[in-house]
Amino acid sequence: MKTNKTMNQREKTIGFFYVLILFCTMTVLSGLILFFPNYNYHLSSNKKQALEQMDRIKNFEVKQMDMINKVLSVEEKINRIDPGLNASYEKREISYILGEIRNVYIQNKWDERYKIFDHTATFYEFRLSDREQLWSTKKNIEKFKADLERCRSNTENKKNNLNKNNL
């Protein structure tokens, strides 16, 4: 019972073509699946996203350039304001400009880059408040020094009067 392990030429040829067709089919299908699914769509989608991103960056830069003049004017007005004068119109004007700066962030809340406008407005509000508080603290210190000096002079006068009366 010897089995014939050799194949004839016809079986070899059929097997070769079967494997060749199977290999070519799998190669073509793999190539199509990996490299060509919506090839043009992916490129155009990436291009569209890149163009949209560039437009958003350009819009942000334009808004920055528009707001820099307002920020500089607020800076100048805060430096120039005299808290001793009750000039509420100047404070209202500063608050209005800061509101315009903050409004840029409110209109574009979805983009985190615009948060800088909110932070800038908050910074200058605190700066104005600190300037007023510093001014009132200085005035209180000056008043305290004047009261202290008046108290010292009155104490000296009383001391001198007591010394004169005791003699």
pLDDT score for 44 = 64
pLDDT score for 73 = 92
Cβ-count burial 95-110 (b if 16+ within 10 Å, e if not): bebbeebbebbeebee
**Which long-range contacts link 12-15 to residues 24+ away (Cβ below 8 Å)?**
none
Per-residue pLDDT of the chain (167 residues; tens, 9 = 90+): 555 567 788 888 999 999 999 999 999 998 888 877 665 555 567 788 888 889 989 999 999 999 999 999 999 988 888 877 767 888 889 899 999 999 999 988 888 888 999 999 999 999 999 988 998 899 999 999 999 999 999 999 988 888 887 76
We report the CATH number of the domain holding residue 87 as 1.20.58
Flag whether 78 is in a domain.
yes
Flag whether 64 is in a domain.
yes
Q: How many CA atoms lie within 13 A of 83 on its CB side?
A: 15
Flag whether 39 is in a domain.
no
Range(s) of the domain holding residue 151 = 56-166
pLDDT score for 42 = 57
User: If you write DSSP's letter for every residue of the chain in order, what string do you get?
Assistant: --------HHHHHHHHHHHHHHHHHHHHHHHHHHH-TTHHHHHHHHHHHHHHHHHHHHHHHHHHHHHHHHHHHHHHHHHH--TTS--HHHHHHHHHHHHHHHHHHHHTTTSGGGHHHHHHHHHHHHHHHHHHHHHHHHHHHHHHHHHHHHHHHHHHHHHHHHHHHH-
Domain count, the chain: 1
pLDDT score for 58 = 93
Flag whether 71 is in a domain.
yes
The span from the CA of 111 to the CA of 13, in Å, is: 66
Flag whether 80 is in a domain.
yes
